[in-house]
């Protein structure tokens, strides 16, 4: 935060140097230049930096922090703009009702379980530690009972960011607490079912449905990679000596003993038409 303020102060100084002729042109021109400079320093600069770095301002980059969406995905321009506008109005500098807005923002960060500020609640974002890359947790493999159904899935409408959110959820499932775990799983299952067909078989556990969709997507991606490598090896025969082309196999799904694929009590069940919770 301090580093960000110093950078903004330096930017304000540079803009002030360029605005010196405007101050000599009259009060109206000077007032316009002052407002434009204030918007650039307090709104435009933070929004552009956060959007281009996907939630890493200079201060957050130095501390190993990053702003992400509540589902763990990268923020967009809309999230960055919302956080910045709320910060300017109600947090820092808090132009709305200082110092009441400062106290409200500080109180929110102290009482919120995740330390969210008002801008995070408004934009649906969260600040996380991003110094070291997080290792993937254990992701359930393809449930054998859903393998045949998954081969008929139409995954053309499944976006990459939603598939990544599903993988994050499955890998972090055991670290999440109820009822946030159920709400997040239900929301992800509803989003996936809205862009894929056919629907899940009746009474399918929610975690099994998400695991089946993700495993089938990965299987098809691996198949396309194998085909691309084989085609490249035919065009450039010398390439085959430097790149092994694996053959797809249908090995039985083995579940590690430390992570049994038993349905937990908190698991969701999916009805034929839409996901539901139990």
The percent of residues above 90 in pLDDT, for the chain, comes to 27
Out of 7-11, 142-146, 204-208, 234-238, least confident range: 234-238
Question: How is residue 183 written in tokens?
Answer: 């709400």
Please check the confidence at residue 273 and state whether its pLDDT lies above 70: no
Average pLDDT over residues 254-271: 40
Q: 159-187: per-residue pLDDT in tens?
A: 999 999 999 889 887 777 778 788 888 88
As a whole number, mean pLDDT of residues 86-94 equals: 82
Lowest mean pLDDT among 84-93, 144-153, 269-278: 269-278
Question: By three-state DSSP, how is residue 10 classified?
Answer: helix
CA–CA gap between residue 160 and residue 171 (Å, rounded): 17
Which strand (E) or helix (H) includes residue 269? strand 269-270
Q: What average pLDDT is seen over the chain? A: 80
Q: How many CB atoms lie within 10 A of CB 145?
A: 11
Pick the more confident residue, 55 or 135: 55
pLDDT of residue 49: 92
Q: Which of 205, 208, 203, 220 is nearest to 153 (CA)?
A: 220
C-alpha 183 chain-centroid distance: 16
Contact by Cβ (8 Å): 263, 205: yes
Measured distance CA(234)–CA(148) in Å, rounded:
32
pLDDT of residue 125: 92
274: confidence class by pLDDT, cuts 50, 70, 90? very low
Q: How far apart are CA 223 and CA 124, in angstroms?
A: 36
d(CA 83, CA 104) in angstroms, rounded, equals: 16
- Residue 213: predicted pLDDT: 95
| Nearest partner of 129 among 69, 172, 53, 65, judged by Cα | 65
- For position 275, what pLDDT does the model report? 41
The alpha carbon of 211 is separated from its chain's Cα centroid by a whole number of angstroms, namely 19
Using the predicted structure, report yes or no on whether residue 262 has a pLDDT greater than 80.
Answer: no
Angle at 256 between CA 250 and CA 262, to 5 degrees: 100
Query: Is residue 128 within 8 Å of 189, Cβ to Cβ?
Result: no
Q: What is residue 240's predicted lDDT score, i.e. its pLDDT?
A: 55
DSSP one-letter string for 121-135: HHHTEEEEE-SSPPP
Q: Please, are residues 114 and 176 in contact by the beta-carbon 8 Å criterion?
A: no
- Does the pLDDT value for residue 26 go beyond 80? no
If one counts every other C-beta atom within 10 angstroms of the C-beta of residue 185, the result is: 25
pLDDT at 96 over 80: no
Q: What is the pLDDT of residue 34?
A: 85
Contact 181, 266 (CB under 8 A): yes
Instruction: Enter the DSSP assignment of 251.
Output: P
Closest CA relative to residue 139, chosen from 112, 166, 157? 166
What would the mean pLDDT of 73-99 be, rounded to a whole number? 85
The pLDDT, as a whole number, for residue 239 is 58
């Amino acid at each position: 935060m301090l580093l960000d303020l110093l950078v903004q102060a330096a930017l304000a100084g540079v803009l002030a140097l360029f605005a010196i002729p405007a101050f000599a042109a009259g009060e109206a021109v000077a007032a316009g230049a002052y407002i434009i400079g204030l918007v650039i320093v307090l709104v435009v600069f933070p929004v552009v930096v956060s959007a281009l770095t996907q939630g890493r301002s200079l201060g957050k980059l130095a501390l190993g922090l990053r702003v992400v969406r509540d589902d763990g995905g990268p923020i967009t321009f809309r999230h960055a703009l919302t956080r910045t506008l709320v910060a300017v109005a109600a947090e820092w500098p808090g132009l709305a009702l200082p110092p009441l807005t400062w106290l409200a923002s500080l109180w929110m960060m102290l009482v919120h379980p995740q330390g969210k500020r008002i801008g995070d609640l408004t934009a649906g974002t969260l600040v996380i530690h991003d110094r070291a890359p997080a290792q993937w947790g254990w992701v359930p493999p393809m449930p054998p009972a859903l393998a045949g159904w998954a081969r008929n899935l139409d995954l053309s409408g499944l976006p990459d960011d939603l598939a990544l959110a599903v993988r994050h959820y499955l890998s972090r499932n055991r670290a999440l607490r109820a009822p946030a775990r159920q709400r997040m799983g239900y929301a992800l299952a509803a989003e996936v079912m809205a862009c894929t067909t056919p629907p899940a078989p009746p009474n399918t556990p929610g975690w099994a449905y998400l695991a089946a969709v993700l495993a089938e997507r990965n299987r098809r991606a691996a198949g396309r990679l194998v085909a691309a490598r084989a085609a490249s090896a035919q065009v450039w025969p010398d390439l085959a000596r430097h790149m092994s082309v694996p053959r797809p196999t249908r090995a039985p799904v083995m579940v590690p003993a430390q992570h049994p694929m038993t349905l937990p009590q908190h698991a969701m069940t999916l009805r034929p038409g839409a996901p539901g919770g139990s």
